[in-house]
Amino acid sequence: MGTLSCVAIKTRATTRVAPTVEIMVEICHVNQIFIAIDKYAKMKVDAKLIAWMREIRRHIHQNPELSFQEFDTARYVTKKLRELEIPFRKGVARTGILAWIGDEKPDSPCVGLRADMDALPILEKTGLPFSSSRDGVMHACGHDGHVAMLLGAAALLKKCHIPGRVVFLFQPAEESEGGAREMVADGALEGVDRIFSGHIDRHFEVGEIAVQPGLICAFTDEFRITIRGQGGHAAKPHETTDSIVVASLLVMSIQTLVSREVNPAFPSVITVGKISGGSAPNVIAEEAVLLGTIRTTHSDVREKVIVGLKRMVMAMEDLYNAETSMELVPGYPPVINDQAATELARRAALAVVGPDGVKGLPYPSLGGEDFSFYLQDIPGCMVRFGARRPDLVSAAAHSPRFDFDERALPVGAEYLAQVALEAMKA
């Protein structure tokens, strides 16, 4: 990185963490911000940049917006980009933003860094002083932190002479509608060679980054099954076909799909998340509707589960004299981290958190992540940023008490800046 004009700070992990490893980290200086690595090899940005990122995180947390409604969030992000004098295009994928720095020569390397911006339809119960000001909408997945991290990375990289171009993708609608797909359709990946991102994760400690090649998030598919019977009097079941009984039996049958038909070496799950039907205690319901999701980690398993589910639904017709229909809504493809990009991510993580801080993922998450849409076009890697708050171990992501340790913000910013530099070197 001899071409960097930014301040290069040589830092040394302590013998406790890395007895033989000396980490050379090239970090930019931002408004005289000093960066170093402490004894746990965690990157330390000085108080000014930390405060800047924390303010961003808290502002966004307090003003959450649902998928494709991130108008205020986008306005706020563009304000911060203006502060950094970074050019941008807004209105990408409706409420997304593309920003960029570096040269625009066609043969220069170009790296994409992505953050998602949307919140969830949850009534916040954290009691934080910067709790949501919008009832029923909450940042319960850490996307407020992701935006702050990406702006922090932009601040760091802006001060560098970078040997290429970095594109910052502030993406809407990760939680529900696949905003990434629209970002791609809107040209967000034009000229981008590789893309990187990270997600806050309370399963890891602050100062840890989990880097794993291959599949890290599942296929997600949703289904809607309708069962139609013959309604009637609750006391005269012999004159009816009870759709609620049929629905109940179907739910129990579905449990054997994963446990008896899928190779147990491939993690998979089917969950019926909602059942509706019936109108009164003394009325046999004519119709019942089941809504659920299928999560799989292998395309063959996905196919097998879908075929098996259809078979079981159809079987209800003959078994119980009911009519059925099933609608399958394909969700996000799986996130599959590219091997070479993962190696770059690992190098960047090492530079930021040292060898003890770099973790793997022992098993894939069966959650969905629309980062996968970018990876269908170009190689890239998504990592997890440790952000556990020990006092909130039971407050899972997507729960009303979710919060994360804000000391993860500078780690994320440093990683994103570093991985961009690593990718441009490659």
Nearest residue relative to Zn ion (C-beta): 141
Closer to Zn ion by CB, 197 or 243: give it: 197
Q: Does 141 bind Zn ion (CB under 5 A)?
A: yes
Segment near Zn ion (CB under 5 A); pick from 131-139, 141-149, 176-184, 347-355 = 141-149
Size of the site for Zn ion (CB under 5 A): 1
Measured from the CB of residue 178, what is the shortest distance to Zn ion in angstroms? Answer: 13
What is the SS3 string spanning 68-104?
Answer: CCCHHHHHHHHHHHHHCCCCEEEEECCCEEEEEEECC
Separation of alpha carbons 158 and 409, rounded Å: 18
- Nearest Cα neighbor of 156 from 425, 423, 411 is 411
218 makes contact with Zn ion (CB under 5 A): no
In angstroms, the first-to-last Cα distance of the chain is 11
In three-state secondary structure terms, 137 is: coil
Q: Is the CB of 54 or the CB of 143 nearer to Zn ion? A: 143
Binding segment for Zn ion (CB under 5 A), chosen from 48-56, 136-144, 264-272, 333-341, is 136-144
| 89 neighbors 74 (Cβ within 8 angstroms) | no
Report in angstroms how near the CB of residue 140 gets to Zn ion at its nearest: 7
Question: What are the backbone dihedrals phi and psi of residue 412, each rounded to the nearest 5 degrees, phi first?
Answer: -65, -45
Tell me the Ramachandran region of residue 167: left when phi exceeds 0, alpha when psi lies from -120 to 50, beta otherwise.
beta
CB of 126 or CB of 240, closer to Zn ion: 126
| Closer residue to Zn ion in complex, CB, 6/200 | 200
Shortest distance (Å) from residue 115 CB to Zn ion: 10
Name which of 11 and 73 has its Cβ closer to Zn ion.
Answer: 73
Whether 13 and 37 have beta carbons less than 8 Å apart is answered as: yes
Q: Which is nearer to Zn ion, 151 or 309 (CB)?
A: 151
Are the C-beta atoms of residues 154 and 99 closer than 8 Å to each other? yes
Candidate ranges 19-27, 121-129, 140-148, 164-172; the one touching Zn ion (CB under 5 A): 140-148
User: Taking the complex as a whole, how short is the minimal distance between the CB of residue 182 and Zn ion, in angstroms?
Assistant: 17
Rule CB under 5 A: which residues touch Zn ion?
Answer: 141
